[in-house]
Amino acid sequence: MRLLFVVMTLFAALIAAAPRTDARSLPSSPQTATIPANEDGYDLWLRYRPVDPASRPAYAAAFASIVRHGNSPTIDAAVAELQRGALGMLGRELQVSEEDALGGAVIIGTPATSRFVASLKLPLAGLGAEGFAIRSVAMHGRVSIVIAANSDIGVLYGVFRFLQQIQTRQKLNGIDITDSPKLQVRILNHWDNLDRYVERGYAGQSLWDWQKLPGYKDPRYTDYARANASIGINGVVLTNVNANAEILKPEWLVKVRALAEVFRPYGIRVYLTARFSAPIEIGGLKTADPLDPAVAAWWKAKADEIYRVIPDFGGFLVKANSEGQPGPGDYKRSHADGANMLADAVAPHGGIVMWRAFVYSAENAEDRAKQAYADFQPLDGTFRDNVIVQVKNGAIDFQPREPFHPLFGAMPRTPLMMEFQITKEYLGFATHLAYLGPMWEEVLQSDTFRPREGVTVADTLDTPVRPGAVTGMAGVANIGTDRNWSGSQFDQANWYAFGRFAWDPDSKSDAIARDWARMTWSDDPATVGAIVAMMGGSREAVVDYMTPLGLAHLMATGHHYGPGPWVANLARPEWNPAYYHRAGKDGIGFDRTKTGSDALSQYADPLAKRWGNPETTPENLLLWFHHVPWDRKMTSGRTLWEELLAHYDRGVASVAAMQARWEEQKGRVDHRRWSEVSDFLAIQHAEAKWWRDASIAYFQSVSGRPLPAGVAAPEHDLDWYKAIDSKYAPGNGK
């Protein structure tokens, strides 16, 4: 009876949570039999399309039924996902039992819930609560697959990995995988406002339909949780770091609870941003001074209240004293004073505080790239154990290329977590195809030389500063209400890749791209190869046509859509592109050596030395650290001026090459997604050319240099580009 009930519930859940793309339900005609059916991208990398008939028997033999050991919503979710995979890939629904099977079963459980799993003595000891083991075992002459873990959530992660094996057509016979995450907190930061506007969002509105919560839980929340769990994401900050105190009011907390309930079976905790002035704004206090006992008591009571409503609440994320946000600095207190006060409030409940180091001030004339380090490094060792300082990958702001942030490795007594931006604020929004894996890998594999050569940024993230100390990685989400979730088909890859890097910061971006392409687009190796190649070069293309050779922050004002290198009149110096490129008759680039801002002194000596000399600075960071003459000879033999032009041209050409490659995929992937990507690439090509032409027109006006033979003149004059006004471009902060 119970078995029947389980099967029926699962079936109902499958139907409810499985939005199917339109064309698949149409009767197939001879033409549609060979052309892949249209899709809209909703299914992400969890498409579970049918395995080809030749390979199917082998999978069907080992995945013929499900044996579940364990009884929890998480195990229910694991079984539902297995069913979904079996139905999609093998074309049939499986029997679920709680008895040991004879063979050909996928058996899931923990040593605590399953005598069988316990008897196998799998190497689970070192895998923690979230790791898993997947093993094939011979039973009665047939292969069965065991997916085991120390906890139910580990089982769910194992199930997703198992399904991925089939999705990427790996052999099941002899499968032997053990894996566990290297970082504890793997979290999305949603910059979502309570009115559903998403700051830097290019994928529609916020997913959180606050007005209908808690009464209505959109099934999309479940699919969102499934997608996150499939890549190991275990935390979600629901609200914008430019925070609104209202979210902490009781009437909002019940809405937060509703989301927490949907996410819980998938191992995802919710977190909120804490507006530092909340005690004044919603608490009726006169101050938010962190050292005022009434303020600390208010936060403590607020934390107690939140945990009464959401017992597994994760904690707070805070942006303080930056870009107009309130903070402890308003009371002449330090970041540690502020963070510790909040940390004390959540500590009794096991919560954490993620305190952002993205801090620069209007009153500080110092190089913006130096300010976070100057504020935070001296505070090393003064934070509570449950504080983790969240540091952007670079010292300025999510640019297409930045050297790694000098704080990594420089605060050995303070947990530091990485903040990447998945949403492409500075890399062409949703329409530019830019796979961020190579950028993240570049940052994570950078050698910090702290405390010695060979210690990479990834090492600093996944080595706890003391036993048990918190570790983590945050990604600013690119997710919204668009049917394809991320605003473009290819931006799904950035969500996916973020999860994979958060799970293992030593991951390789190419391998991630391959898995993603295989699961998202096609089984055909030629198509997968073409897609992986497009992705692999795509970020460098953006660097080339926007900010080559170490240039940064040349985007138009506010919305950051399109070029604005000429902008020099904004109130704060560091808001102006001209502040960053410093181009003049004599040359271009920001001198961050001793003769300039000396930002280099914030890096370990060997690096400061290497990057302090233009001759030993990688050319792709040259203008980040040096102001150099237009005539400087580059390794190519060209002058800097010519090299700059060559990069702009190369960027535009790379997009054209992507277009040509994509054209070849026509008919090899479904037409609907194909044509969306094709149209977006055309937009990207036009905008790459816009960037190139506007940048050349501007820098030529400054350098006074002629264009060498073979370099096309910009299509319009500089004034034409300056006159472009995109005030309604999406995502601007409000």
363 is catalytic: no
Choosing from 152, 425, 482, 687, the catalytic residue is 425
- With 0-12 / 13-18 / 19 or more C-beta atoms within 10 angstroms meaning exposed / middle / buried, residue 14 is middle
Contact positions vs ligand GCW (CB under 6 A): 191, 199-200, 241-242, 319, 323, 358, 397-398, 425, 733
3-state helix, strand, coil in the chain (%, to 5): 45, 10, 45
Q: Which is nearer to ligand GCW, 46 or 416 (CB)?
A: 416
Would the CA dihedral through 406, 408, 409, 410 be positive or negative?
positive
The distance of closest approach from Cβ of residue 76 to ligand GCW in the complex, given in angstroms and rounded to an integer, is: 37
Separation between Cα atoms, residue 494 and residue 372, nearest integer Å: 26
Q: Starting at the earlier edge strand, list the strands of the sheet with 142-148.
A: 95-97, 65-68, 105-109, 142-148, 132-139, 176-179
CB of 420 to ligand GCW, least distance (A): 11
The CA distances from residue 464 to 297, 417, 471, 702, in Å, are 31, 11, 6, 49
Comparison of 207 and 241: residue with beta carbon closer to ligand GCW:
241
Q: What size, in residues, is the chain?
A: 734
* Catalytic residue from among 397, 459, 540, 642: 397
Q: What is the DSSP string of 199-246?
A: TT--SSS-S--TTTTTT---HHHHHHHHHHHHTT--EEE-S-SS--GG
- Cα separation of 404 and 449, whole Å? 12
Q: Output 199 or 482, the one with its CB closest to ligand GCW.
A: 199
CB of 325 to ligand GCW, least distance (A): 8
List beta partners, residue 109. 148
Beta carbon of residue 3, minimum distance to ligand GCW (angstroms, whole number): 50
Residues 6+ apart with CB under 8 A from 73: 264, 265
Closest contact distance (angstroms) between CB of 189 and ligand GCW is 9
Amino acid letter, 317: L
| Angstrom distance (rounded) from CA 574 to CA 556 | 13
The yes-or-no answer on residue 99 being catalytic is: no
Cβ proximity to ligand GCW, 241 vs 694, nearer residue: 241
Nearest to ligand GCW of 383, 426 (CB atom): 426
* Known catalytic membership, residue 323: yes
Distance between CA atoms of residues 458 and 265, nearest Å: 29
Q: Which residue has the tokens 């983590």?
A: 472
Shortest spacing between CB 425 and ligand GCW, in angstroms: 6
Among 471, 492, 474, CA closest to 483? 492
Report how far residue 337's alpha carbon sits from residue 291's, in angstroms, rounded to the nearest whole number: 7
Give residues with Cβ within 8 angstroms of 298, minimum separation 6: 279, 283, 285
User: What is the distance in angstroms between the CA of the first residue and the CA of the last residue of the chain?
Assistant: 56
Least distance (Å) from ligand GCW to the CB of residue 648?
Answer: 24
SS3 225: helix
Q: Kindly tell me which of 55 and 242 has the beta carbon lying closer to ligand GCW.
A: 242
Q: Are 190 and 198 in contact (CB under 8 A)?
A: yes
Helices (H), 311-434: 335-346, 368-376
Residue type, 82: L
Closest CB 284 distance from ligand GCW, rounded Å: 27
- Distance (Å, rounded) from C-alpha 147 to C-alpha 289? 51
Q: Looking at beta carbons only, is 412 or 733 nearer to ligand GCW? A: 733
Exactly one of 22, 195, 323, 524 is catalytic; which is it? 323
> By C-beta, is 536 or 733 nearer to ligand GCW?
733
Which is nearer to ligand GCW, 408 or 420 (by Cβ)? 420
131, two tokens: 């790791």
- Rounded alpha-carbon distances, angstroms, from residue 710 to 332, 645, 649: 58, 11, 11
Rounded least distance, CB 199 to ligand GCW, Å: 5
Catalytic residues: 323, 397, 425
